[in-house]
Amino acid sequence: MYFHGTSTVNEKGHLEIGGVDTVALAEQYGTPLYVYDVALIKERARGFCKTFEDLQVKAQVAYASKAFSSIAMFQLIEEEGLSLDVVSGGELYTALTAGFPVERIHFHGNNKSQHEIEMALKAGIGCFVVDNFYELTLLEETCRDLQIKTNILIRVTPGIEAHTHDYILTGQEDSKFGFDLQSGQADEAIKLIQTFEYVSLLGIHSHIGSQIFETTGFVMAAEKLLEKVKTWKEELNYIPKVLNLGGGFGIRYTAEDDPIPVADYVKEIVSVVKSKVDEMKIELPEIWIEPGRSLVGDAGTTLYSIGSRKEIPNVRKYVAVDGGMSDNIRPALYEAKYEAILANRVNDTKDEVVSIAGKCCESGDMLIWDLPLPKSSSDDILAVFCTGAYGYSMANNYNRIPRPPVLFVENGNIDLVVKRETYEDIIKLDLPMKQTIQQK
């Protein structure tokens, strides 16, 4: 059995996280329930930062908050000294409400609205990561209207796609994100920004994919970007001060996954950037990265109560839990795989193979296929590991199921950081039907 972070089994045979008995948590807070191992988040955050410090490289590690955003999460990230990547007005609002230092906020997104741009400019955020020509013009105009200057990175697509274990070099990058490097779009963007009065180009950003287990893709991306820098230096007199190589560092969801230590990614990235800038005889840019999943993914565990069971002889045993695609849409969305155990009977022999079904009205609402488990009943609690990234943040109210609460646990302490949604919350935006008003 593989335990993440502080997870362990206690003398009662229960799963314990952060020194807290998860069975007691399920009793006290109900299920489904997300539990985060705070010590593991801190360990990961410090791992990234320390590697840059040891290498004596100026860097920013920005938490990609799409993985899990909440006020408490942003406060934890702030305490750890990381920066923050937000992608929408909602994530930005949460960050501002959490009191996150604005200068360390980076605003991403391929279709920021004028309202979102104004909100970020008025807040004085650190930088925008600009995705396209429409946004460039909109940003410069909005800055002029508000008489505010701002810094940006431009997101480029380097023509490398990471497919978890291997990489394809694509001639014409087919992605909704960023300025294409091959076709000269990025060059055009730089030329345009050089004519701007309010928007300054701090550097370049690229993100090649997610759940990546090797350093090769990052090295290839850095090489391609720096090849371009050579041209920009000669032809446009432009040298980036910042090089942001995105996130995507892989984690262990199941035994099939074999992640490398986070330090290895950082060391390889720094080494290739250093050697390329030495060749060009230019100053080493600040290196930024944006991990999401690798900071919070394996720190999260979801606890469910087991309910109904359906056995089809010689075909399959379905065991249903009190959540599903409403709290974890990843298996339905992209066949993501997870491991799970009975939190209240960790040491019991796994004597059957079952498939874990959610409670949503959708055949595709399956959380895990073919999971070895002890024979379970409705007294049991299922703990699904590694649900910390893109779990709560993608949770939804399908079938009007309230979203579960979130707990932070550390050193035996429990902190309720997101409350359970209620049925009242579910209908709070609904309005009763009025008389039909005919449009004139």
Ligand X SMILES: Cc1ncc(COP(=O)(O)O)c(C=O)c1O
Residues contacting residue 426 through CB under 8 Å, at least 6 positions apart: 397, 400, 402
Exactly one of 5, 18, 247, 331 binds ligand X (CB under 6 A); which one? 247
DSSP-assigned beta bridge partners for residue 83: 62
Nearer to ligand X, 62 or 343 (CB): 62
- With 0-12 / 13-18 / 19 or more C-beta atoms within 10 angstroms meaning exposed / middle / buried, residue 422 is exposed
Q: Which of residues 93-152 bind ligand X (CB under 6 A)?
A: 108
- The string of DSSP codes covering 146-177 is HT--EEEEEEEE-SEEEETTEEEE-SS---SS
Which pairing describes strands 300-312 and 381-385: parallel, antiparallel, or unpaired?
Answer: antiparallel
| 361 among known catalytic residues | yes
Nearer to ligand X, 25 or 221 (CB): 221
Nearer to ligand X, 267 or 375 (CB): 267
Query: Residue 223, annotated ligand binder?
Result: no
Q: Which of residues 209-238 bind ligand X (CB under 6 A)?
A: 210
Cα separation, 85 vs 83, in Å, equals 7
The nearest distance, CB 378 to ligand X, in angstroms, is 35
Cα separation, 95 vs 23, in Å, equals 32
Q: Which of residues 362-421 bind ligand X (CB under 6 A)?
A: 389
323-335 burial, b at 16+ Cβ within 10 Å, e below that, comes to bbbbbbbbbbeee
Exactly one of 16, 21, 131, 290 binds ligand X (CB under 6 A); which one? 290
By CB under 6 A, residue 294 contacts ligand X = yes
Q: Which residue is catalytic, options 49, 127, 360, 361?
A: 361
- Per rule CB under 6 A, count of chain residues that contact ligand X: 16
Stretch that binds ligand X, among 33-41, 158-166, 246-254, 265-273 (CB under 6 A): 246-254
Nearer to ligand X, 295 or 406 (CB): 295
Nearer to ligand X, 334 or 423 (CB): 334
By CB under 6 A, residue 293 contacts ligand X = yes
DSSP class of residue 87 equals -
CB-facing half-sphere around the CA of 421: CA atoms within 13 A: 18
Residue with tokens 């032809």: 235
By CB under 6 A, residue 67 contacts ligand X = yes
Give the interface with ligand X as residue ranges (CB under 6 A).
Answer: 64, 67, 85, 108, 207, 210, 246-249, 290-294, 389
Positions annotated as catalytic residues are 361
